[in-house]
């Protein structure tokens, strides 16, 4: 269960992370903040590259940052962009979130639109797992 104050905090940290995005091609800056089961928060932003396959989404940057710092399971992730549309995570990011049986609450926000909260299963109901 995630509280409204945690949602607000995650969205604010994701908003701040979006300011560090490197998005010269899409012009779509995105920030993410992931909270682990110990309530530690890790952030990330999208980083584009002229060789498009080398681009990484904000969600994966935040999750990889968390994993590098010892976090394993996540209770929530917030994704924010300053301009529409709402930044719903892509399939690759959702699959990374699902690794290890993890199913975090997904919060998306945009400066110009109302935030939305999704149960993970609503976004990726058939996540691959070994």
Q: For helices 58-68 and 4-18, give the axis angle rounded to 10 degrees.
A: 110
> Measured at the alpha carbon of residue 124, what is the angle toward residues 71 and 93, in degrees to the nearest 5?
45
User: Which tokens hold the place of 86?
Assistant: 């709402």
Q: Is 115 a catalytic residue?
A: no
Distance CA 120, CA 5 (A): 20
Residues with Cβ within 8 Å of residue 65, at least 6 apart in sequence: 42, 43, 44
Among candidate residues 6, 12, 37, 59, the one labeled active-site is 59
Q: Which of 9, 23, 128, 35 is nearest to 83 (CA)?
A: 23
Distance CA 37, CA 111 (A): 27
Catalytic center residues:
59
């Amino acid at each position: 269960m995630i509280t409204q104050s945690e949602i607000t905090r995650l969205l604010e940290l994701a908003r701040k992370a979006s300011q560090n995005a490197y998005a010269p091609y899409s012009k779509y800056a995105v920030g993410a903040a992931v909270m682990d089961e110990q309530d530690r928060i890790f952030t990330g932003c999208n980083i584009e590259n002229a060789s498009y396959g080398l681009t990484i989404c904000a969600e994966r940057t935040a999750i990889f940052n968390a994993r590098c710092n010892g976090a394993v399971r996540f209770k929530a992730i917030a994704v924010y962009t300053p301009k529409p549309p709402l930044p719903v995570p892509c399939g690759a990011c959702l699959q990374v979130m699902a690794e290890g049986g993890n199913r975090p609450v997904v919060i998306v926000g945009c400066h110009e639109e109302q935030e939305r909260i999704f149960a993970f299963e609503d976004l990726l109901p058939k996540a691959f797992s070994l």
